[in-house]
Amino acid sequence: MSKRSIVQYTQALVAAGVMETPSWMAALLRTPPLPPVRTKKSKPPKITFPEDELLLAYYRKHPEARLEPIDLASFEPPTGRRFALRQLELMQHKGLGKRSAAVQAEREFAEQRMQADAAAGRSGRQSIIDQIQAEEEQHLQQALRQYANKHGATVVRQHALELSQQQHLQRQRSQQQQDTQLRTQRPQGAPQVQVQQAQPRPAAPQAPKRAQAASAAAAKPK
């Protein structure tokens, strides 16, 4: 695009008799265009915000925050900018200094992070367990319905009773095996303890038969 002014170029042509004065010349002379705004290297000026300095200080203290992914479809700012905005809010509305506001914002964000991690851990484990149990229950109910339709309700009850008995026997066997292992297991180097069986007490000496007969006769009324 030519850098010459269209007004000066047209005026030169009119003065040379090449063309007549166009109809738009008077209107253009009454409202001349604004002078072009030229910046350094023809680049737009950099947009700065009040919290940019606080954000850079947060990134210097927590360089891992730069690796946090940013959701372009979300209106929620990343952690670093939220921290800087909170620090700026404390400085403007609470009258705190830069260091005091940073300490308080750090404390608030640490508490929020701990609560969020704890809630996410509990809900995540609980949701996974609930999901697995729901899927297992669904498959189990479907299998039971198919089995009942195929064999009948009486056979299903009988098989369920047999299965419960087998499970009970298996639990008893496993408990017996655990008890046996606990008896046989002994720490290395521990002395063996010999358990002596308790001997029965000797019976009390019985009175002679003559003494017994005499005492019985004395007890009888005359």
Q: Which of 12-16, 55-59, 83-87, 121-125 has the lowest mean pLDDT?
A: 121-125
Length of the chain, in residues: 222
- Model confidence over 34-89: pLDDT tens digits? 777 776 666 777 899 999 999 999 999 999 999 988 888 888 899 999 999 999 99
Q: Is the pLDDT of residue 195 over 50?
A: no
Q: Is the pLDDT of residue 203 over 60?
A: no
pLDDT score of 36 = 74
When computed from its CA atoms, the radius of gyration of the chain, rounded to whole angstroms, is 49
- Mean pLDDT for 98-106 is 93
Domains of the chain: which residue ranges?
Answer: 1-32, 52-125
Residue 92's pLDDT band (cuts 50, 70, 90): very high
Angle between helices 98-151 and 153-184 (to 10 degrees): 120
pLDDT reported for residue 183: 79
So what's the pLDDT on residue 2? 53
- Do residues 32 and 7 make contact, with C-beta atoms less than 8 angstroms apart? yes
User: What was the pLDDT predicted at 200?
Assistant: 54
Q: Which amino acid is at 151?
A: H
Query: What proportion of the chain, given as a percentage, has pLDDT over 90?
Result: 25
SS3 sequence, the chain?
CCCCCHHHHHHHHHHCCCCCCCCCHHHHHHCCCCCCCCCHHHCCCCCCCCCHHHHHHHHHHCHHHHHCCCCCCCCCCCHHHHHHHHHHHHHHHCCCCHHHHHHHHHHHHHHHHHHHHHHHHHHHHHHHHHHHHHHHHHHHHHHHHHHHHHHCHHHHHHHHHHHHHHHHHHHHHHHHHHHHHHHHCCCCCCCCCCCCCCCCCCCCCCCCHHHHHHHHHHHCCC
Query: Residue 115 CA to chain centroid, in angstroms?
Result: 10
Least confident of 20-29, 50-59, 122-131, 158-167: 122-131
pLDDT for position 35: 77
